[in-house]
Structure 1
Amino acid sequence: MTGRGRTAPGALPVLGHALPLGRRPLDFLASLPAHGDLVRIKLGPVPFHVLCDPDLVHQVLVDDRTYDKGGAIFDLVRTLAGNGLATCPHRDHRRQRRLLQPAFHRDRLPLYAEVMSSEITAMLDGWRPGRRLDVLAEMNGLTATLATRTLFAAHLDDATFAELRQCMHDALTGMMRRMILPWRWLNHLPTPGNRRFERARRRLRHYVARLTTDYRRTGVDHGDLLSILLAVRDDDGRALTEAEIHDQVFTFYLGGSETTAPLLSWALYLLARNPGVRERLHAEVDAVLGGRIAGHDDLPALDLTRRVLLETLRLYPPGWLFTRVTTRPVELAGHRLPAGSVVLYSPHIVHHRADLFPDPERFDPDRWRDDTDRLPRGVFTPFGGGARKCIGEVFATIEATLALASITARWQLDPLPGARTRLAPRLSSHLRSLPMSLRERRTAV
C-alpha cells in the first residue's frame, strides 16, 4: 500500500504487529497516522486495515451494510453476548433496534436516574476520610451494581451478585487475550485462562436463564430492562426468543458496566492531575448541589461536569478498538479491498491527532464549550456513529454525570505518593488500578 496508506513498520515474522499492539496498544495505534490514512497491520497471518482519517471513519460507520459488524473483536464478544444489538450483523440490526428502543425512551430516563442516585448515595455513604481507595474497583462496583439494578430490579443475593461480577471479569479478560493472540487453536487448549473463560461463560448463561424463568413464572413487570425484553413484540407480533433475550441482557450488561467505570476512573484521575480544573468543578457542584447527591433535574446545570466527561472520552475513549468486515469489494482511500477484508478503527487514533485537537495530550475541558455537533464528521466517535451508534449513549452520559458531580461535591480524591497508573486495555481502556486518598470537602455555598 502506498500513497494514502501503507503497511506499518515493525512487523515481526509470524507474529506481525501482535507484540506492540499487546504491550503498548494505545501508543502503537496513535503512531499509525504518520504512515497514512489507511494503514495495514498484521496480527499473525491476518491483515487489518486501520482507519486513521476521520472521513474514512465516517464513511465506514454510516455504511453498515458494506462495512458490517465482524472481525476478531466482534467474533469474540459474540462468544459471550451472542447476537445482541451491539454484535449482530446488518440483517438483524433494524429489527433489534426497533424492539429495544422503548427501553431507552426519554420518559424512562428519570426512573433510571433515580436508581443511579440511590446507588451513588449508598457508595458514598460508605467512604471515610483518609481512607485509601482503589477508585477503579469502586467505580467497577458502582457500575456493575447499576447495570444489575436496571437490568434486574428483582435483586440478586450478595453471593450471586459477587459471582456474576467475577464471571464477567474473567470473561472480559479472556476475550481480550484471545483477540491479541493470532492463533485461534490456542483458545482450545486446557490452560487455566481458557478454563476460567469457559466456566465464566457457562455460569453467566445459567444466571440469565434462571432469572428469565423466574420473571416469566411470576409475570410481574418490575419496570426494568428484562421486563421490557420479555414484553416487546415486533410488527408481526413475535416476542424475543430465549436466545435473543440472553444476548440482549449481556449486551446491556457489557455496555453498562464495561464503559462507564473506566470513564469515571479516568475523569477522577485527570481532575487530580489538573487542580485548576478541579477547583472550577468544585465551584460548579457546590453551586448546583450544595453537597447533596445529583439527580436528573440537575443535569442541565452541570455544564463543566459534562465537558470534563467529554474531554475524558476524547483522551481515553472506553471503546478503544473495533472491527468491521467488508461484505463486497470496495475502494477505500484509493485502495481496492476484496470482500471479507477486516477494517479496524479506534477512536483513540483520531482523538489524538494534533491537526484535529491542538496539543492533543493536554486535558482541556474548555475544548467543548461549543456544541459537539459542529465537529467534522468522524472526529469524535466514543459511542460509534451511523445507525449502529450506541443505543445507551444518553443512559451512560446521565450515569457518569450524576456520579462525577456527586463524588466531587462530597470528596476530593488525590493520587497516593508513588502510586503507578498503568493501562490494561480489555474491551475498554481500563486502568489496572487507581489508588487514591479521600479528603472530605466542605461545600462552599
Structure 2
Amino acid sequence: MPEHADVLTAVPQVAGGSGLRNQYAYENDRIGCLTAWSKRYGDVFGYGPATVVVNHPDLIHQVLARTNREFSATVPMVEHQQTAAENLDAWMRGRRQGGRGIHPDLIAQCDDRLDRALATAVTALPARGMDLAAACERICGRAIIDVCLGGEAPAFYERTARASDDILAVSRTLDTPPWGAKRRYRRAVAAERDLTARLGGVLERLRARPGDPPRTSLVDALLAHPDRLPDQVITAVLRVTLIGGHGTPGTALAWCVREMSQRPELLARLSDEARAAPAPAAAADLPYTTAFVKEMLRFYPPTWLLARDVAEPVALCGRRLEPGQRVLFSPYLLHHDERWWDTPAEIRPERWLGEEKPFAPHAYFPFGAGPRVCVGSLLGLTVLVRAVALLAKGFELDVDGPADAAPRPDILLAPPRSRVRYVALTSRNAGRE
C-alpha cells in the first residue's frame, strides 16, 4: 500500500453521531466496535476528530518503524522529572543497551534459576486457590524478578507487583486523561520513585562487590557491560523489565492455563513433551510447547491495543494526519484477520511447526515492533514456555470459571474471571495411596 499520495484526503469518520456517542459505543464493546468499523470503513478511519484507527499490517509497520520521528510513543506519565527529549534519549539508550544485555546466552545461563523460581512461585500459591490472572501474575512476576536481580529478588516482589499495577494503569490508559485517575497517578509516581531508589541501592551494593562475580542475572550482565553503562541506564532497563514482567506475561500465562484446563488432549501432549525433555530443557527441546505459547499470544495478545501520537504532519496511505491526533492499532484484530492468517478463528499450535511463517508479513506482533519493541520479549517468551512445561508435567490444573465467556479488553486483554488451584501431581498421588 502506498505511503504517500499526490493528493491527501481527510480520514473517513465513523457515522452515527458525535464523537462522544461513538466513544460511548466503543467503551461498551471495544473489540466489537473496532471489528465492525474496520469492515465498514476500511483500514484507516476515525471514530472522533482526535482518534484514527489503522488496521493493515503494512501501515501499522510504517507507524511503528517511524516512531520517534513522525510518530511518538506516549512517554509514561510517571517519567516526569526531565524534559520529553531527555526522557526519550535515556529511554532509547536503555532499550538499546539493555536489549543487548537480555540475550539468549544469558537467559540460558539462568535456566536452572528460572525453573526453581517458577516452581517456588507455583507451590507458594494458596492451597485453597485464587484468581486465575492474579495467580499467573505472581508466577511470572516472581520468576522474572529473580532472573533480573538474582539474590536481591526476594525483597522486591510485593512492592514491585503493586507498582506494576499502578504504573501500567496510568501509562497504558488510552482514553482517560490524567485528571481522571488522580489517586492512581499519585500512587504510580510514588511507586516509580520508590522502585528507582531501591534499584539504585542494589547497584551501589553490587558495584562494591570484590572480584569478578558470576553473570547469572540480568543486573550482573549489565554491570559487566564493556561500555560500563551508567547507573541511570541500568536502572531504566531493570525498571521497565520488572514492571512489564508482571501483568503482561501473567495475563498470557492465564490464557494458556485456561486453554490447557479445557483441552485434555492438548495438556497431555504438552505434558509428554515436557517429561521427555532434559532438565533444564532448551528451547529446541520444547517445540510444541513453544508453538502453543506463540499461538496463544496470537489468539489472545495481552497487549491487544497500541497507540502512537502524531508528532508532525504526516501522510499515511494518502490520508492526512496532524499533530494532536492519536493512531490506534490492535494486534488482536490483525491476529484474527482472514486476510493475513489461515483459519484465524481456530487455536492451532501446529501452524507454528512448519518451516514457513504462518502469517503475512508484519501481521504478528504480540510484543510490538519497531524502535519501541519490547526489550524483554525473549525473556517473556522463555518464562511462558518454561512455565507451561512445568505446569503441564507437574501439576493438576483446577480452573473454576465460565468456559465460553468473552475476553475482557481493558488495559490488557484479560481472561474471564476464574479461580485456579495448582495441585502438585506428587501430592495428588500420595493422597491416593
Q: TM-score range by the shorter chain?
A: 0.7 to 0.9
In the TM superposition, residue 344 of structure 1 has moved relative to its aligned partner by 1.8
Segment drifting more, 136-145 vs 166-175: 166-175
Question: Structure 1 pair 139/350, CA: closer, same or farther in 2 (3 Å)?
Answer: same
Question: Structure 1 pair 356/302, CA: closer, same or farther in 2 (3 Å)?
Answer: same
Question: Structure 1 pair 431/311, CA: closer, same or farther in 2 (3 Å)?
Answer: same
Match of 1:240 among 230, 237, 247: 230
Encode CA deviations 1:141-165: one digit per residue, 9 max, x unaligned.
Answer: 122212322332243566x632332
Encode CA deviations 1:25-71: one digit per residue, 9 max, x unaligned.
Answer: 333333332020112123xxx5122111112122222333544333x
In the TM superposition, residue 179 of structure 1 has moved relative to its aligned partner by 3.0
Match of 1:304 among 265, 288, 291: 288
Match of 2:354 among 338, 347, 370: 370
Secondary structure of 1:79's partner? Answer: coil
- Note if contact 2:408-2:416 (Cα within 8 Å) is conserved in structure 1: yes
Name the % identity. 22
In the TM superposition, residue 198 of structure 1 has moved relative to its aligned partner by 0.8
Match of 2:248 among 239, 249, 259: 259
Question: Structure 1 pair 195/439, CA: closer, same or farther in 2 (3 Å)?
Answer: closer
Encode CA deviations 1:234-271: one digit per residue, 9 max, x unaligned.
Answer: 5xx7x4364x4443332112322222111111011122
Match of 1:117 among 85, 92, 115: 115
Q: C-alpha distance in 2, partners of 1:162/1:128?
A: 15
Question: Structure 1 pair 200/277, CA: closer, same or farther in 2 (3 Å)?
Answer: same
**Uncovered stretches (5+) of structure 2, i.e. residues with no partner:** 1-7, 429-433
Encode CA deviations 1:356-377: one digit per residue, 9 max, x unaligned.
Answer: 2344332121222224646322
Q: C-alpha distance in 2, partners of 1:391/1:79?
A: 19
User: Does the alignment pair 1:28 with 2:33?
Assistant: yes
Match of 2:159 among 159, 163, 168: 163
User: Does the alignment pair 1:41 with 2:47?
Assistant: yes
The total of aligned residue pairs comes to 411
Question: Structure 1 pair 245/287, CA: closer, same or farther in 2 (3 Å)?
Answer: closer
User: Does the alignment pair 1:211 with 2:199?
Assistant: yes
Match of 1:6 among 12, 18, 26: 12
**Uncovered stretches (5+) of structure 1, i.e. residues with no partner:** 188-192
In the TM superposition, residue 418 of structure 1 has moved relative to its aligned partner by 5.3
1:171-190 equivalence runs, <5 A: 171-176=167-172, 178-181=173-176, 183-184=177-178, 186-187=179-180
User: How high is the TM-score relative to the length of structure 1?
Assistant: 0.79
1:44-83 equivalence runs, <5 A: 47-70=50-73, 74-75=74-75, 77-79=76-78
Segment drifting more, 225-234 vs 348-357: 225-234
The one-letter code matched in structure 1 to 2:165 is: H
Secondary structure of 2:141's partner? Answer: helix
The one-letter code matched in structure 2 to 1:138 is: A
The one-letter code matched in structure 2 to 1:260 is: P
User: Does the alignment pair 1:201 with 2:204?
Assistant: no
In the TM superposition, residue 347 of structure 1 has moved relative to its aligned partner by 0.7
User: Does the alignment pair 1:336 with 2:311?
Assistant: no
- Note if contact 1:134-1:435 (Cα within 8 Å) is conserved in structure 2: yes
- Note if contact 1:30-1:352 (Cα within 8 Å) is conserved in structure 2: no
Where does residue 274 of structure 2 map in the other structure?
Answer: 285
User: Does the alignment pair 1:395 with 2:395?
Assistant: no
Q: C-alpha distance in 2, partners of 1:82/1:303?
A: 45
- Note if contact 1:56-1:378 (Cα within 8 Å) is conserved in structure 2: no
Q: C-alpha distance in 1, partners of 2:80/2:244?
A: 11
Q: C-alpha distance in 1, partners of 2:80/2:103?
A: 23
The one-letter code matched in structure 1 to 2:134 is: A
Q: C-alpha distance in 2, partners of 1:230/1:345?
A: 37
The one-letter code matched in structure 2 to 1:386 is: G
Question: Structure 1 pair 112/256, CA: closer, same or farther in 2 (3 Å)?
Answer: farther
In the TM superposition, residue 408 of structure 1 has moved relative to its aligned partner by 0.6
Provide the aligned C-alpha RMSD in A: 3.5
Secondary structure of 2:308's partner? Answer: strand
- Note if contact 2:308-2:328 (Cα within 8 Å) is conserved in structure 1: yes
In the TM superposition, residue 4 of structure 1 has moved relative to its aligned partner by 11
Where does residue 143 of structure 1 map in the other structure?
Answer: 140
Q: C-alpha distance in 1, partners of 2:123/2:392?
A: 14
Question: Structure 1 pair 152/7, CA: closer, same or farther in 2 (3 Å)?
Answer: same
Secondary structure of 2:139's partner? Answer: helix
Question: Structure 1 pair 404/4, CA: closer, same or farther in 2 (3 Å)?
Answer: farther
Q: C-alpha distance in 2, partners of 1:82/1:366?
A: 48
User: How high is the TM-score relative to the length of structure 2?
Assistant: 0.81
- Note if contact 2:313-2:320 (Cα within 8 Å) is conserved in structure 1: yes
Q: C-alpha distance in 2, partners of 1:151/1:248?
A: 10
- Note if contact 1:53-1:350 (Cα within 8 Å) is conserved in structure 2: yes
